[in-house]
Amino acid sequence: MNLADLNKVANAMVAPGRGILAADESSGTIKKRFDPIGVESTEDSRRDYRELLFRSNKAMSENISGVILYDETFWQKAKDGTPLVKLIEQAGSIPGIKVDEGTQALPGCPGELITVGLDKLAERLKKYYEHGARFAKWRGVIDIGKGIPSYTAVRTNAHALARYAALCQAAQIVPIVEPEVLMDGDHDIDRCYEVTEFVLKETFQELYYQKVALEGMILKPNMAISGKKAAKRASVQEVAEKTIRMLKNTTPSAVPGIAFLSGGQSDEEATAHLDAMNRIGGLPWKLTFSYGRALQAAPQKAWSGKSENVPAAQAAFEHRARMNGLASKGEWKADLEGKKAA
């Protein structure tokens, strides 16, 4: 493991004004995104859509530091035969790969999940590295509900995340460590804080046990936020203050950066929360975005599967990327939302 090189990549992933595009939706998930816009999910339609994002030169070169890809996309070529990974590199962005293989029911823990995909991961990482991947992602999923999460679910998912991270670093790939506490449910922000704090403490404990070098990783957590069905939603400022307090209590300063997941927040909500945190300032790590839906919902709607809509879709993507780029520096303003990218 060359830690200096891993650290260089990790720092580039959280460079000021830039963040990560999560374009790693599985075939099942992308179908759910395409259905409402009336697009059939085929290998070609998925390729066409992702190609339009990666060819959005302004967004990719100015605001997107890296792209998380799904295995199918990683090996795909653009319409003109250029590998999509090369398109990302040419735009000055870093190609990454989602390596987990989804979730399964966790035995003995009703309603809880464990992420799978560690088998043969070392061999897979070697192939991804040879074809240009410089970072990877693995997502653990923790739900909040009656009597859950259990310690079993938290501990087994933390252990798997650390196993994955250690294998990545051995393959000279920066691991994005993503322990996601879901915002589904009617819990309040304090319950989310309590569970997420515990999950992060357990995750860093496991990373330590498994000799993962913190300088060569990126954390992708959820924010401390009210559940979607909560009677009372926390304000932007409360989310920002509690999330920072939670991270200061759990995340060592050796970690170069934290790239938040959007987790079902609206586009503007995800941007406003990130901006409010960066305005607080005085933080030991960079705070940026690793958004999927919060970057893609607008371009998907604008595109709707029609080639003539590609410029409008790219403009929508560039706008969201720019807004989040500003938020990563604490320079976003709500009144900028009316002004689409010129």
Tens digit of pLDDT for each residue in 44-62? 999 999 999 999 999 999 9
51, 178, 206, 318: the active-site residue: 178
Q: Delineate the domains of the chain, giving CATH numbers in brackets.
A: 3-330 (3.20.20.70)
Q: pLDDT band at 259, cuts 50/70/90?
A: very high
3-class DSSP assignment, residue 220 = coil
Residue with tokens 């926390």: 234
- pLDDT above 80 for 339: no
28, two tokens? 């099942």
| Residue 190 CB contacts under 8 Å (≥ 6 apart), including other chains | 242
220 assigned to active site: yes
DSSP state, residue 145: B
- Distance spanning both ends of the chain, measured CA to CA: 44
Please state, in angstroms and rounded to a whole number, the distance separating the CA atoms of residues 163 and 168. 9
Residues 6+ apart with CB under 8 A from 7: 215, 216, 256
Per residue in 182-230, pLDDT tens?
999 999 999 999 999 999 999 999 999 999 999 999 999 999 999 999 9
Mean of pLDDT values over 234-242 = 98
Tell me the C-alpha distance between 97 and 102, whole Å: 14
CA-to-CA separations, 191 to 29, 87, 144, in angstroms, rounded: 28, 42, 8
Query: Quick check: helix, strand or coil at residue 71?
Result: helix
Proportion of the chain above pLDDT 90, given as a percent:
98
| 149-170 mean pLDDT | 98
| Residue 168 clears pLDDT 60, i.e. is over it | yes
Tokens of 280: 């607080």
Q: Is the pTM of this model over 0.85?
A: yes
Write down the pLDDT at residue 45.
Answer: 96
Question: What is the residue-averaged pLDDT of the chain?
Answer: 97
pLDDT at 279: 98
The pair phi, psi for residue 49, each rounded to 5°, is -65, -50
Alpha-carbon distance values, 22 to 57, 230, 292 (Å): 17, 27, 5
User: By the 8 A CB rule, do 137 and 99 touch?
Assistant: yes
Q: Answer yes or no: are the C-beta atoms of 221 and 198 closer than 8 Å.
A: no
pLDDT band for position 342 (cuts 50, 70, 90): very low
Report the 10 Å Cβ neighbour count for 228: 15
**Which residues 6+ apart lie within 8 Å of 199 measured at CB?**
142, 149, 154, 157, 158, 179, 181
DSSP-derived 3-state class of residue 55: coil
The reported pLDDT for the residue numbered 338 is 80
Q: Is 178 a catalytic residue?
A: yes
pLDDT at residue 264 in the model: 86
Q: What is the pLDDT of residue 65?
A: 98
Instruction: Write the DSSP symbol of residue 83.
Output: B
63: phi then psi, degrees, rounded to nearest 5: -125, -15
**pLDDT band with cut points at 50, 70 and 90 for residue 26:** very high
Residue 170: pLDDT above 60? yes
What mean pLDDT do residues 228-235 have? 94
Question: Per residue in 300-317, pLDDT tens?
Answer: 999 999 999 999 999 999
Cβ-based neighbour number of residue 134 at 10 Å: 22
Give me the catalytic one of 98, 220, 242, 286. Answer: 220
User: Would you place residue 341 in the very low, low, confident or very high pLDDT band (cuts 50, 70, 90)?
Assistant: very low
